[in-house]
Structure 1
Amino acid sequence: MSDPVAQPANAIDALQQGGVIVYPTEAVFGLGCDPDNQAAVEKLLAIKQRPVEKGLILIADNYGQLLKYVDDAKIPMDKRADIFSQWPGAITWVMPAAKETPKWLTGQFDSIAVRVTNHPTVKALCQQFGKPMVSTSANLTGQPTVMSITHAKSEFADRVDFYVDEPLGGNSQPSVIKDAMTGKVFRG
C-alpha cells in the first residue's frame, strides 16, 4: 500500500503547478486539475478530447469549498434539505453558477455541476489543495471508463502529470447528476 501522506503531496504539487492528475472517485478513476487555472482545464479537456461547451464537474471536501463557484443565494430553502441530506456522497448537483465562475468550467451553461464527496482520498486531496478539483471520468470522450491505474497509465501515459494509486470507492455506477432546482435527473 502506498504512503497516504507522500502521495497526495505529490498530487498537490502537480495540481499547484497546473498539472492534470488521475485519481480514484466513488466508482471510476477521474481526471482532475485546478478549476481556477484555465491552462490546466484546457490541458485536461485536450487529454479527454472533450469540448469546453459541455461544462465540467467540481468535486470538493465540503460545500464551503464550492461557494466561490455557486450562486448560493439562488438556491431556495426548500431545495437545500434534499441537496445537503445527500452529501457527502455520490450525488452531483447542477446549481446556478456564480457570475464570476469561468466559462471554461460552465461551458455553454449558466449552471455548474458540483459534488461533495465522501471518498477519503478525494477528501484528503481537496483538504490539502484548499479547494475543489475538476472531476471528469478518466477516459477519452465516448470511450469506456477507466477502472484501474494500469488502464489509466496505458490510456494517458505521460500526458497526465500524476497518478493517485488508491482504491475506488466501491460504487458500481458514476455519480447521479441531478438539477438542484428542478430535481430532474441527467444521469441516474
Structure 2
Amino acid sequence: MSEQAKQLQAQQSITAATDAVRTGGVIAYPTEAVWGLGCDPWNQRAVEQILAIKRRPVEKGLILVAASEEQLLPLLAPLTDEQRAVLTEHWPGPFTFLIPDHNLWAPEWVRGEHSSVAVRVSDHPMVKALCEQWGKPLVSTSANRAGEDALRSYEEVVSLLGEEVDVVVEGEVGQNASPSQICDLVSGNVIRS
C-alpha cells in the first residue's frame, strides 16, 4: 500500500471514530503504549458504556486526553504560572497530571470521587489527530477489563472488544513500554510511574 493510500485510510478511520464519538459512541484507539477506549467525556451514557466494558467503578475516575493545552484551558486557567510551567515542560508526552477541578469543568462521571481530574496532552499522532478532529478532549482509559492485561495490538482489540465498541481506529501503539506516568500536580507525588 502506498504512503498516500495509508494516509487516506488513516484519515477515514479518524473520521469514522469522531463521527461515532459525536453520536455518543465508544471507540478504541492506539495510544503511546497501549490501546485505549474513548468517548465524549460530557456524554454520561457513553462514559457509562466504557465503565461497563472495563467493569470499572465510576468512583475511580477516568483520564482525559487532549491534542493541546488549549483544549484544556477551562481546567488550566486557575493554575499558577509555576504549575502551568510544569505542564508545558512535560506536554505533549506520556505524562498524566491530576489537576484540581475547582470550577467542576469535568463531569462527576469522569472525576469519580476525586476533586481533581487526570489529564494529558498526547504526542501520539493518532491521538492528536482524533482530538483535533473532535475539537475537544476525549476519555482515555486502557482497553482492557479491570485487572486484566492492557491490549497492545489492533488484532487483540478487535478480537476481545470489537463487538462492544462502535469503531476500532486503525493504527499502532507508540514505543512506550508502559502507560503514562500519573503525577499529582499540586503535591508532586507520583501516583503511577
Q: Same fold (TM over 0.5)?
A: yes
Q: Does 1:78 align with 2:82?
A: yes
Alignment of 1:108-187 (within 5 A): 108-187=113-192
Q: Does 1:31 align with 2:64?
A: no
CA deviations over 1:116-151 (Å, ceiling 9, x no partner): 001111101001001010000000001000011111
Find the counterpart in structure 2 of residue 63 from structure 1.
69
Determine helix, strand or coil for the equivalent of 1:122.
helix
Determine helix, strand or coil for the equivalent of 1:45.
helix
Cα drift, residue 79 of structure 1: 2.2
* 2:97 alignment partner, one of 93, 105, 114: 93
Give, in whole Å, the separation in 2 of the partners of 1:128 and 1:7. Answer: 12
What fraction of aligned residue pairs are identical, expressed as a percent? 48
CA deviations over 1:15-41 (Å, ceiling 9, x no partner): 111111110000000000000111100
Which sits farther off after the overlay, 98-107 or 8-17?
Answer: 98-107
Which sits farther off after the overlay, 25-34 or 92-101?
Answer: 92-101
Q: For residues 148 and 46 of structure 1, do their structure 2 counterparts lie closer, same or farther at Cα, with a shift above 3 Å needed?
A: same
Aligned length: 186
Find the counterpart in structure 1 of residue 23 from structure 2.
17
Q: Does the aligned pair in 2 maintain the 1:177–1:187 contact within 8 Å? A: yes
Give, in whole Å, the separation in 2 of the partners of 1:157 and 1:24. Answer: 14
Determine helix, strand or coil for the equivalent of 1:159.
coil
Find the counterpart in structure 1 of residue 51 from structure 2.
45
Give, in whole Å, the separation in 1 of the partners of 2:192 and 2:38. Answer: 20
Gaps of 5+ in 1: none
Q: For residues 71 and 116 of structure 1, do their structure 2 counterparts lie closer, same or farther at Cα, with a shift above 3 Å needed?
A: closer
Give, in whole Å, the separation in 2 of the partners of 1:50 and 1:99. Answer: 22
Determine helix, strand or coil for the equivalent of 1:58.
strand
Q: Does the aligned pair in 2 maintain the 1:72–1:96 contact within 8 Å? A: no
Q: Does the aligned pair in 1 maintain the 2:27–2:38 contact within 8 Å? A: yes
CA deviations over 1:143-188 (Å, ceiling 9, x no partner): 0000111111121131110001201111111000000111100000
Gaps of 5+ in 2: none
- Give runs of ≥4 in structure 1 deviating > 6 Å: none
Give, in whole Å, the separation in 1 of the partners of 2:52 and 2:180. Answer: 23
Give, in whole Å, the separation in 2 of the partners of 1:66 and 1:81. Answer: 15
TM-score (norm 2): 0.93
